Amino acid sequence: MQKRVESQVTSHESRNSGSWPDDIHGVLAGMGVKQVGYVPDSGHARLINLVRADRGMRAIPLTTEEEGVALAVGAWLGGERSALLMQSSGAGNCINMLGMVNECRVPLLALVTMRGHWGEFNPWQVPMSQATVPALEAIGVVVHPVDRAAEVSEVVAAAARLAFNTCRMVAVLISQRVVGAKAFK
């Protein structure tokens, strides 16, 4: 019996594992997010394409993640909601700019795909991966980790409500277990 439940969960998970970016896109659209800043990550590749194809959203490629933090302040001052897509290496690039967001109580929704842990091949990715949660928390970001594809949509929706309803910085950290480790071949 126990085994059957597990296998159902597993098959449910695998059925959904490919569609979580679509789920996130649906949540962002439903929350009225209009500006989406991003520094590409392979984990966000599909979501970036969905945002670019959505005429109700503006996709804004950034040269570094902290640009997206300042962009979110401007968007919200102007009455628009935004989201920021990055990989975990980018979290470190944002820290001082997040201080402005913290002081001004601007809602910030960051969706971070993790590198440098689950099954990682590249040792240079590991230090920032280890530092991501403590660094974000130190500057005042509420961190919601998610490590199952089936839960991504629910966690992103909760994070978006928390960010926009309470004017807080919230980051969803999407595990490499969901995204898949980068294959070096």
Partner 1 sequence: MARHKNPTLDRRKVVAEILKQRGDALVVAGLGAPTWDAAAAGDSPLNFYTWGGMGGAAMIGLGLALAQPKRRVIVITGDGELLMGLGSLATIAVQQPRNLALIVLDNERYGETGMQDTHTRFGVDLAGMAKAAGFRASGTVYSAARLKNWIPRFHRQAGPVFCDIKVTSQPAPMVLPVRDGPTLRNRFREALLGAAEACQ
Sequence-separated (6 or more) residues with CB below 8 Å from residue 26: 153
Nearer to partner 1, 73 or 133 (CB): 73
Amino acid at 177: R
Residue 174 CB, shortest distance to partner 1, in Å, is 24
Tokens at 47, concatenated:
């979501």
Any idea of the CA torsion for 122, 127, 133, 135, to the nearest 10 degrees? -140
Nearer to partner 1, 101 or 157 (CB): 101
Residue 61 CB, shortest distance to partner 1, in Å, is 6
Sequence-separated (6 or more) residues with CB below 8 Å from residue 32: 81
Nearer to partner 1, 69 or 152 (CB): 69
Residue 30 CB, shortest distance to partner 1, in Å, is 17
Footprint of partner 1 (CB under 8 A) = 34-35, 58, 60-64, 66-80, 82, 96-97, 99-100, 103-106
Strand ranges of the sheet holding 142-146, from the earlier edge strand across to the other edge:
58-61, 33-38, 81-87, 108-113, 169-174, 142-146
Residue 96 CB, shortest distance to partner 1, in Å, is 7
* CA 47 centroid distance within chain: 10
Nearer to partner 1, 136 or 150 (CB): 136
